[in-house]
Chain A
Amino acid sequence: MTQQTPVRPLGGVDGGALIDEDWEAYRFRVHRSAYRDPGVFRDEIAKIWGHTWLYLGHETEIPNAGDFKTRTLGGRPLIFCRDSDGEVKVFLNACTHRGTILCRHNEGNTKFFQCFYHAWAFSNSGDLAALPGDESYPDDPGFRESMRLRQVPRLQIHEGFVFIAFTPDVPDLLTHLGPAAHYMSLTAKIGPHGMQTLPGVQLYSVKGNWKLAVENAMDGYHFAPTHNTFVGYLRETGFAVTDDDQYAYDLGGGHGLLVLTGHNGRIGMVWEPRFGDEEKARTVAKRNEMIARLGPEPAAEIADASRILFVFPNLLLFDLEALTIRQLEPVAPDRTDVRAWQFVETGEPESVRALRIKTMVSFVGPGGLATPDDIEAYEAVQRGIVATADSADPAHDWSDMSRGMANEKQGNQGRSIDEGAMRSFWRHWADRVGAATAVAGDPPADPGAPGPSAALASGKE
C-alpha cells in the first residue's frame, strides 16, 4: 500500500524534493542543498523572516523610558526602544530622509535619535522632531507626518518576550505561539518578582546554517557523544546524567519542546552536589515559595524537569541549570549570528545570582565546557556537506533524520534522543518556504501530543 504522494508540486533543486519522507521504509531525509543553496537562503529570508513573528528581545533589556538597543533581525537594522511614555517601540534603524543608519550605538538612553548626515532628529516615539532648514520644505503638516520613523508593522509582547513581524498579515501572536506560549509563561513565573535579562550578552557567530543550530538544540541524540567531557565533569561532581525519561514534543507551527528529567540539576529547582550546601537549603525553600504562590502542580511543572523550547524560527529558551535565551540571526547560508542572554529571577540574592551565572556559563556559550562542541558540530556539518554536492550518485546528497520513526508510527511519545522534533521542524519549514516534499506511506494517525500537560490530560504516556 505504498503510495507516492507528492503533497506539493516538486520545486526543489533540479526540480526534486528537498524533503523525502517514507513511512513504509521509515526514512526521513533532508536534501543537503537546504543548508547550502543561496536560493533557499533567500527564500527563507523572504518567506520566513519576512512573513512570520520573530523574537526580537526581552522587555527587561530596556527597563527605563528612553532606553534603547539596536539589533539586526532578518538582515534589517532595528531600534528596539522604550519611548518617553514608557511604551515599547521598534523602528527600522534608517533615517527616513535618505536611509542613513540613524542610531549607530549598540545601546543607550535618549529622547531623540539624530541622524548625523543632515541632522534630522526623531523623538523616541518616532516623530520627526527637527529638520534643519525646514523652510525649504512644503509648509504642510502631512510632510512631517510622512517622514516619521518607520515602525515595524506588527509588535506584540508575551510575558515580556517581544516579537515583531515585517508584514501586517500575521496571526495574533498567541495564535502563532500556540502551546509554546504556555512554556514561555512557565519560565516567566519562576521568580516571585519576575524575571529579567542580564547585561553581558554573548554575541558570537557560527560558520553554519541557522537550521543546524535548531537541529542541534532539538537533538538529544548528540548529547552523550558530543558532550562526553561535560558529562564526565558532571559525574565527577557527583551527578549522574541519564537519557531515560526524556521526551520530545511537536508543539505545532514549527515549535518544538524537549522535556529532560535526568539531564542535570537546576538552580533553585533540582539540587546537585556542585551547587553546594547553601543552595540545597534554598532549593527546598524555593519550592515552598512556588507552591505557596502558584500551587503544587504548577510548581512541580516548572521545577521538576529541564526544558529546551524552540519557538519558530529564531528563539531558543534553555531552561537547564539556569535559563538562557538564545536568538538566531541568519546572515548567509553558511553563517549565523547568535545572541544569548542569561535570564534570571529579579531581586534574587547576589550569591544565588553568582552561582546561576557561573553554572550556566560553564555549560553554554562559546567559552563554556559544552557549547563549543555543539558549535564544532554544526560548523563541521557545514564543512562536510559540500562533499556530496552534485555527487555522481545524487542519493548521497541527503542527511538522514529517521531515528525513532518506527516508534513514532506505533503512536509512542517521541523520545528526545530520537529525531522526531527535527522532523516536525523540517515539515513546517518546508511548508513556510514552499519547498517540495515527497511523502510515501501513511504517517501516524495521531500526529503527537502538543505538550506534556496535554499528554497527561489525555491519559497518554
Chain B
Amino acid sequence: MTSTTSAAVVSVGTRTVTRAEVEDFLYREAQLLDEWRLDEWFTMFEADGRMEVPTTDWAGWDATTAGYFVCDDYDLIRARVKRLKSRKAHAENPHSRTHRMVSNVILLEAGAETVWISANFLIHRYRDNGAYTYVGRYEHVLKVDDDGLRFRVRRAIPVMESMDPGARLSFIL
C-alpha cells in the first residue's frame, strides 16, 4: 500500500480525481442529508456499497470482528432510507435538524478504480429542544466513474468517547 499523500490530484484508471471534485461530492452529500433528500442521497452509493459507523472504542477493527453502531450492506441502507422516510420511524419523527461541516479533505490513496479519502466532520443536531454535537472523521472508498464518484464504503468514525444522552444515531452520521 502506498503511503498517505496530500496530493490535490490523483490518477485513477484513465482519469484524474482532484481534491475539489471530492470536496464537491462530500458537500453535496452534506446538503442532501441536511435537507433530508434521502432518495437522492441513496443514489450516491454504487450497487453493493456499504455504510459503516464503528463504535467509540474503535481501534481499527472491521465489522467482521467487532461490534459496530452501523454496518449496513446495500439492502440495509435501502431499508434505512425507507424507514427514515416513514412517519413510523419514531426516533426521527419529527426529523432532527442537522447542520454539517465537512473539512480537512485528504486524498489518501488511489487504486485501479477507487480513491480512498478522509475528511473531518462536525455535525450539529437539534431535536426535542436539545442540541448535540457529533465530531468525527470520514474514511471513504469512492468508486471513480467517468461521470462522477460513488460510495463503495462510507465510513463515519465518531471521535466522542461515547454517545451522549439523547445522542442516538437515528439519523445518518
Q: Is the CB of B90 within 8 A of A226?
A: yes
Of the listed stretches A13-21, A368-376, A390-398, chain B binds A368-376
A residues contacting B by CB (< 8 A) are 106-107, 198-207, 226, 228-230, 232-233, 236-237, 274, 335, 337, 340-342, 350, 353-354, 357-358, 361-362, 365-369, 371-373, 375-377, 379, 383
15 contacts between A and B (CB under 8 A): A106-B57, A199-B66, A200-B65, A200-B68, A202-B69, A203-B56, A206-B166, A232-B82, A350-B64, A358-B72, A358-B73, A366-B169, A369-B83, A372-B91, A376-B168
Q: A203 to B54, alpha carbons, bound, how many Å?
A: 11
Query: Once bound together, how far apart are the Cα atoms of A229 and B92, in whole Å?
Result: 12
Q: Which residues of B contact A (CB under 8 A)?
A: 53-59, 61, 63-73, 75-76, 79-80, 82-83, 86, 88-92, 128, 130, 161-170, 173
Give every chain A residue within 8 A of B63 (Cβ-Cβ). Answer: 354, 357-358
B168 proximity list for chain A (CB < 8 A): 204, 206, 366-367, 371-372, 375-376
Measured CB to CB, the closest approach of chain B to A75, in angstroms, equals 16
A202–B113 alpha-carbon span in the complex (Å): 34
Give the residue name and chain of the B residue nearest to A231 (CB): B88
For B92, the closest partner residue in chain A by CB is A372
Sample of 4 further A-B pairs with CB below 8 A, known A232-B88, A361-B70? A205-B166, A229-B83, A229-B89, A362-B72
Residues of A within 8 A of B170 (CB): 366-367, 372-373, 375-376
| In contact, A199 and B88 (Cβ under 8 angstroms) | no
**A398 CA to B121 CA, complexed, in Å:** 44
Which B residues touch A365, using CB under 8 A? 67, 69
Q: Measured between C-beta atoms, what is the minimum distance from B77 to chain A in Å?
A: 11
Cβ contact within 8 Å between B128 and A203: no
Contacts of A341 in B (CB 8 A): 67
Q: Which of B65, B71, B165 contacts A207 (CB 8 A)?
A: B165
Least CB separation from B163: chain A residue: A204
A229-B88 contact given A106-B57, A358-B73, CB 8 Å threshold = yes
On chain B, the residues within 8 Å of A350 by CB distance are: 64-65
Contact of A367 among B53, B73, B162, B165 (CB under 8 A): B53
The answer to whether A201 and B88 have CB atoms under 8 Å apart is no
Contact of B66 among A106, A200, A207, A366 (CB under 8 A): A200
* CA gap between A297 and B21 in the complex, in Å: 61
Compute how far the CA of A441 lies from the CA of B104 in the bound complex, rounded to whole angstroms.
69
Which residue of B has the minimal Cβ distance to A342? B67
CB pair A205 B162 closer than 8 Å: yes
Chain B interface, >50% SS class: loop
Is A202 a contact partner of B64 (Cβ separation < 8 A)? no
Partner of A375, one of B57, B64, B75, B91: B91
Contact of B163 with A379 in the complex, beta carbons under 8 Å: no
Instruction: State the CA gap A341–B53 with chains docked (Å).
Output: 15
Docked complex Cα distance between A206 and B61 (Å) = 26
- B64's nearest neighbour on chain A, judged by CB, is A354
Given contacts A200-B55, A354-B64, contact A376 B90 (CB under 8 A): yes
A226→B83 CA distance, assembly (Å): 12
> Is A366 a contact partner of B165 (Cβ separation < 8 A)?
no
**In the complex, chain B residues whose CB is within 8 Å of the CB of A199:** 57, 59, 61, 65-67
B89 and chain A: residue at smallest CB distance: A229
Q: Which residue of B lies closest to A106 (CB)?
A: B57
CB distance from A365 to the nearest CB of B (A): 6
Contacts of B167 in A (CB 8 A): 204-205, 366
Given contacts A228-B88, A376-B170, contact A200 B61 (CB under 8 A): yes
Query: Complex formed: what's the CA distance from A365 to B59 in Å?
Result: 19
Among residues of B, the one whose C-beta sits closest to the C-beta of A336 is B165
List, in ascending order, chain A residues with CB within 8 A of B165's CB. Answer: 205-207, 335
Q: Which of A236, A274, A340, A369 contacts B67 (CB 8 A)?
A: A340
- Selected from A228, A353, A358, A366, the residue in CB contact (under 8 A) with B69 is A366
Q: Kindly list the 4 A-B residue pairs having the minimum CB-CB distance in the complex, ordered from nearest.
A: A200-B66, A200-B67, A367-B69, A372-B91
| Nearest CB on B from A201, distance (A) | 5
Tell me, in angstroms, the Cα distance from A418 to B115 when the chains sit together. 53
Contacts of B89 in A (CB 8 A): 229, 373
Among A206, A237, A383, residue most surrounded by chain B Cβ atoms (within 10 Å): A206
A230 to B163 Cα, complex, angstroms: 22
Q: In the bound complex, do residue A202 and residue B73 qualify as a contact, i.e. CB atoms below 8 Å apart?
A: no
A366 and B71 contact, Cβ closer than 8 Å, known pairs A229-B83, A353-B65, A373-B89: no
Q: B67 to chain A: which residues have CB within 8 Å?
A: 198-202, 340-342, 357, 361, 365
Residues of B near A377 (CB, < 8 A) are: 90
**From B65, B91, B166, B169, residue with most partner A Cβ within 10 Å:** B91
Q: Which residues of A contact B91 (CB under 8 A)?
A: 372-373, 375-376
Closest Cβ of chain B: how far from A209's Cβ, in Å? 12
Closest A residue to B164 using CB positions: A205
| Alpha-carbon distance A107/B59, docked complex (angstroms) | 12
Complex CA–CA separation, A199 to B75 (angstroms): 25
Within the complex, which residue of A237, A357, A362, A366 is in contact with B64, where a contact is CB–CB below 8 Å?
A357
B166 touches A207 (CB 8 A): yes
Whether B68 pairs with A357 at a CB distance below 8 angstroms is: yes
Residue of B whose beta carbon sits closest to that of A364: B67
Distance in Å: Cβ of A79 to nearest Cβ of chain B: 17
How long is the Cα–Cα vector from A346 to B75 in the complex, in angstroms? Answer: 28
Nearest chain A residue, comparing its CB with the CB of B93: A376
B90 with A203: CB separation less than 8 A: no
* Chain B residue nearest to A357 in the complex (CB): B63
A337 to B169, CA, bound (A): 15
Q: Give Cα distance in the complex from A86 to B47, angstroms.
A: 49
CA distance A399 to B73 in the complex (A): 41
B29 to chain A, nearest CB (A): 18
